[in-house]
Amino acid sequence: MKKALIVWGGWDGHQPKEVAEIFQEVLTGEGFDVEMSNTLEAFADDEKLKGLDLIVPVWTMDKIDEKLVQNVSEAVQSGVGLAGCHGGMCDAFRDNVEWQFMTGGQWVAHPGNDGTDYKVNVKHSTSPLTEGIEDFDVCSEQYYLHVDPAIEVLATTRFPVADGPHALNKSVDMPVVWTKRWGVGRVYYNSLGHQANIIDMPVVKELMRRGFVWSAEGKSAAASGGQA
């Protein structure tokens, strides 16, 4: 049985407990043994982390000890999957650049704030993570992120939609869903999920389910000598 650790906390406005509970339900449904923790000290045992198949951070706008980030980083480099969403993964620790390097991006703005209507454009490629999923509309925060050019982009959204100092720049397609590698570990991110009702949308929940499973499979793939 695959093992997953969900660590939730930080800013309450993102409903971390409620989002973590949805993720727990999804992972349990996929046969994972899921541990839930509401303390960053869950990252303190480096050997325990390396024994997992998946780490799911649901933690926004906080500070973290460098050693804890190092433990997560080394676990992922060894093959443990890392998957999360919205500010719970890519606005977790604004002053920690290793976390941002590992996850592939960092939130910088959401012009229009919550309640912005926008479209998510799904990119169809060889990745099974978006197979059969069509473009869809969302009313939520539209995340503008600084992103790693090494990521594989699976979905985007077009800026500008809301007005702001960015609006006179040319239109840009901002990544919404992506994957990347960290060592032999698989990393998955989805910028949707301002609150639990967005994660509970069937299409968003399905994208997260696929991302969790794909990330967790990286460990066994790497161990067997297959592509991480």
Nearest CA to 154 among 182, 191, 124, 133? 124
Classify 212 in phi/psi space as left (phi over 0), alpha (psi -120 to 50) or beta: alpha
pLDDT per residue rounded down to tens, the chain (228 residues): 999 999 999 999 999 999 999 999 999 999 999 999 999 999 999 999 999 999 999 999 999 999 999 999 999 999 999 999 999 999 999 999 999 999 999 999 999 999 999 999 999 887 899 999 999 999 999 999 999 999 999 999 999 999 999 999 999 999 999 999 999 999 999 999 999 999 999 999 999 999 999 999 988 887 777 655
Q: Which pLDDT score is estimated for 126?
A: 79
The answer to whether 56 and 217 are in contact (CB under 8 A) is no
Tell me the HSE value of 176 on the side-chain side, using a 13 A CA sphere. 28
Cβ burial of 166 (10 Å; 0-12, 13-18, 19+) is middle
- Residues 60 and 92: their CA atoms lie apart, in Å, by 4
pTM of the full structure: 0.97
Domain ranges of the chain: 3-223
CATH of 3-223, one of 3.30.390.30, 3.40.640.10, 3.20.80.10, 3.40.50.880: 3.40.50.880
Query: Residue 97 belongs to what H/E stretch?
Result: helix 97-103
Question: Residue 144: what pLDDT?
Answer: 98
Report long-range pairs for 49-53 (Cβ below 8 Å, ≥24 apart). Answer: 49/5, 49/74, 49/75, 49/80, 50/74, 50/75, 50/78, 50/80, 51/3, 52/3, 52/4, 52/5, 52/80, 53/2, 53/3, 53/4, 53/80, 53/81, 53/216, 53/219, 53/220
Q: The tokens of 209 are what?
A: 């389910």
105-109 and 3-10 as β-strands: parallel, antiparallel, unpaired? unpaired
The token pair that represents 93 in the structure block = 């620790």
* Structure confidence at residue 99 (pLDDT): 98
